[in-house]
Structures are given as C-alpha cells and as structure tokens.
Structure 1
Amino acid sequence: MGKHRSLRGKVIVITGGARGIGAKTAAALREQGAKLALGDLDQVEVEKTAAELDALGLPLDVTDTRGFTAFLDEVERRLGPLDVLVNNAGIMPLSPLDEEDDVSTRRQLEINLHAVIHGTREAMLRMRPRGSGHIVNVASMAGKAGFPGAATYCATKHAVVGLSEAVRLELRGSGVEVSCVIPARRPPPPSTEALRAAVFIPIVRTELASGLGEAKFFKSLQPEDVAAAIVDALRRPHFDVFVPKSLDAMGRITRLLPRAAGEWIARTLGGDQLLASAAHSSARSSYEARAAESAPSVGTDGDS
C-alpha cells in the first residue's frame, strides 16, 4: 500500500457544506490542514459553519450553473487552484412516485444530478490541465438499489454512480482521481451476513433523515462516519467508497441471491417500508419544507 497523501494546504471545496455530512467532512479535513471553501444555499448557516472552522463560506445555489462556476472562480481567486471538489449537496423528498409533483421531480434532478454533472465538469476543466486533483461525488446505497417512497431520489443517485464510473474512465492517466461515496446502514450481525444488499437502507442521521425509523437489525450511520471515509479516500485515492467498508463485499455476495429472495428478506426486515412510511411523517415536515425551497433557480416550466 502506498504512502498516504497529505491534505495540508490543499484547496478543497464542499457543496452543501453548511450542515450534515458536508459540515462534518469539512471539520475532518480541517484537522488535516486543508484550505476549505464551503458553499451552501443557506448563507447564514454556511458562514457560521465556515467561521467555526476558519474556512471560506460563500452562498451557493448549485442549480445555477453560471453561479456555480463563478463560485469556483472566486474560491480559486481567494485560496488558489482547486485541488478537491466534494459534490455533496442533495435533497431527499419522500413520496410515492404517483403522488410526487413535477416541481419536486425537477428539483431533485437539478440538485442531485445536474449540479453534480456541472460541478464534475468544472472540476475536470480546472484539474486536467494541471495533471492533478480529486473529484468526490456523494451518492447513496439508493444508487445501487431501489427503495419505495424515494423513486426519483433513487434515480438521481443511480445516475451519480454511473456518471462517476464514466468520468473515472475518461480521466484515466490524467492524474485526476474520482471517488464515489456510497453510504448505507451498518452491516447486520454475523448471523445475517448473507442478506441481499437491498436490505441496506440509505440512512445517515442528518436532517435529511428526519422522521425515518430504524429497520430491524440495523443501526444508522452518523455524518462523522461518512466524513472519515471521504478523508480516507482523499489520502489513499480509491474509487469505491462504501460506508461501512464491509458493504462492498456484502453486496458482491448477496447479489448472487435470486431477486425474489432478496425482496422477501427486505420485506421481512422492514427495509422496503422505511422510506415510504416516513413520507407523510410530521417529524419530517420541517425538512420537507426546507427541501422544497432549496432550489430558487429551478422554474416550474423548466427554466433554470
């Protein structure tokens, strides 16, 4: 295994950096001596988080492509050339697909997918000429399986995984690294280690998970767990960043099960209803309201 790379002095940008995984990742990277820039739609909160970490905090609407580009330009003007971009911003509204309105669908596509595509492209344009850099795209186990009550969210995360895989191949030999982060629940006890990957529910305990309960045998991740995995991927570059690490081997084994068997196990453990049951939860209402206001540049008629 090669020597770990130092992150000291590296210019690292994190979208959705005001809270949750973004904020915890920033804190972990600050301990590594990185020069941080946090972007978030919530200007007050991102400036507060940045001040606590001695970082640069700027307002950022990731759905505004020109604004996103200008944000990166400003970061490079103030901190230096971009070394790492962490595409972390995302939302997860919950409802059955036939109850989801088109505004919500477009909002998820703009924030969770289009913004990641644009950020990744911008990073490639800045990093490839220098022959160095690292792009980190935060996906989800929802990018590897389907979960009722979150169909559009699953679609966006599947797309982020595919985007990351394709860009990794496009950048082969360029000196620019790509990592795709797949958070999921902690693994079950040894007696159930042969369960299909579909029973892993994409829950990290941030505001995004408001109102979601616990499936049988599983424990939710904390944002710090994901942050630590991202730091490790930057210090020892690798593409697949499963959180927890054992999820990769688990998935390889359980994909051998017939689909019907995997779906039966998911139903038995309650994994098939964890997201769907929270769709109309009162405990989730404040998050859903904030998510609904999270993309001011996304219009109802397709303008952005």
Structure 2
Amino acid sequence: MILVLTDSNDAHANHLIEKIEVEELPYFRFNLEVASLLDTYYTFRNGEISINQSKRVLNITDVKCVWNRRNFVELLLEESYDQDMDFKLWKNEWNKTLTGIYNSLKNVDWLNPWRLAYIAENKYLQMEVATKLGFRIPETLISNEINELKSFVSLYNPVVLKLMNQDFYKTDKNEFKGIYVNKITIEDLEKFGNSNENPIVLQKYIEKSFEVRYTVVGEDHFVCKIESQASSIANIDWRRYDIPHTPHSAIEPPANIKEKVTYFMKELNIEYGALDFVVDTLNDWYFLEVNSMGQFLWIEDLTDLKISDAILKWFKNKLNLKVNNYESILN
C-alpha cells in the first residue's frame, strides 16, 4: 500500500494518483487540509492505527511506502489568520496525532522521511553541505546588524534580499502576496531598524545566463534550463512566473555538477529534491537551495521530462522490494 500525504487541491498528487490507478497499485490518499480532516475518523488502540477518510479506511500496518507531499495540517491562506482558541486546539491535536502516525511508519520507505525532509530544508545545513562538496555559492550574509548589512551591500553591490522561509503574507488591503528575491540598496536598508529586527539574508547577485531547476528522484536526475533573462518580469526571480516569455528546456548537466548533486542528496539522506541553480555568463553553476518537497509538474508539462514516471517507478520498486524480501525469507 502506498500512503500519499497531501491535500485535496494538490495537482501533483492528482497527476500521480491517475498513474497509480492505471498501474492498479494499492494506495491511500490522506488529505491534510482542514475540510478533509473534519471528515476523518482516527483510532489508536493497543498499538494499532486506523484512519477513515471520505469512507475509505486505512490500517497503518498495510503501508509499505509513503509519498510525503505534506507533513501537517494544511491551512488555506485565510485560515492562517484570526484563529480562535478552539481551532488552534483542534489543529495542534491533529498535528500531534500526525507525528504519532509518522512514528509508527518509521520502518517503511518514505519519499522523503518527514524528519529528514524538515532538516533538509534548513538553509544553513544546505550551505554547509554544498560548501563541503565544492559547489559555488554566492557570497552570503545573514544578519540583523545594520552596519554589517550596509557593509555587505557596499562590498558586493548588486545584492539581493532573500527569505529563509517562503510564505504568503496578508497585506493591508487583505490581499495575500509572496515575497520573492529582490535587489536591495543601502538606501533600502535605511528602513531597517537598529534593534528588534529579525535576521535577513543578503546574497551577492550573480549576473545570470540562465537558471536551472534540477529535480532528483532516487537515482534519476531531471535538469531543466529556465531562460529567465528573456523576461523582464522573471529575470531576478523566475518564481514570479512569466511562462510565455520564459523558455524552459531539458538539458544535460555538467558531469561534475551531477556527481556533486548525487553526493549532496546522500549527505542530506533524502531521495527526492528540487534544487535551484543559477548559471553565470562564464557558464559557472552556483547552488542556491534545495526543496525536499518541491514542485515539478510545470517542468514536466513544459519539457516532457518524465519526473512523475520516475516517482511511480520509485513506488513500484519499493513495493516489489518488499515482495522480493518476503519471498527470499520463504525460500
């Protein structure tokens, strides 16, 4: 049985589950958004766990592998604000229950294990491992000391401001907006206070030839060239998405980059990752970050890279591995 941890609006899960059903593989979709959890019945008794969601029942002992698209209660943007005490209690108790479920699944195969996925998201760890393996990384400063920040901008101008935690934020107009990578000047830093400010991330801006979304599934590598410099909207951060004016294409990575990515994934002990690189005008590759639950479907749609097929293959291999191990015991 494949356990898919997701939510009902996850297009990636929808796409993979269609393939799972074609292959007639056993699966249970566990949606973690509020509406689905309100229609979920859970029982833990004498070490046994059962989950009943939308009239489908899962006995946790049937799970052989897990696809980790979501970890905890998934909130709509409007649900993230103005939570009353009852809702906070409900959400927190569900999240504690989910950690209990995951603990009971610690001996099955995960793509990726939730604890390791969480650790792998740490930008400090990513930079440490990337440096150890010899990746180029843009000069970086993380600080809330105004003089340090100004000195960095003066030294490396142009510089960009990044966030360690990507999220959406509510504006004064009750709109939800993401904060992406932006160039920053010393004049911008004048708005930064001398106290009570959180640390911010500054990086030297790399003059880009193109950007790369590098997706790894087990031993399979899928590399997409994103020509962000063709767009006046996406040229600093392709996540502003100007798809019609931002060509995407499948490429082969340099052999040394592929080797380093392989070791990087092993160091983080994860089997799925969406890595971001920028490639400068001298064709040097700079590592930016890895997302252990990163999106891939738009890359597949634009380039025909078979990422979802690789994930399906991972499921089938893990299910077959269990069967083969069992047969070897019998023989």
Length-normalised TM-score, structure 2: 0.33
| Structure 1 or 2: more helix by fraction | 1
Length-normalised TM-score, structure 1: 0.35
Structure number with the bigger relative contact order (C-alpha 8 A, sep ≥ 6) is 1
| Structure 1 or 2: more strand by fraction | 2
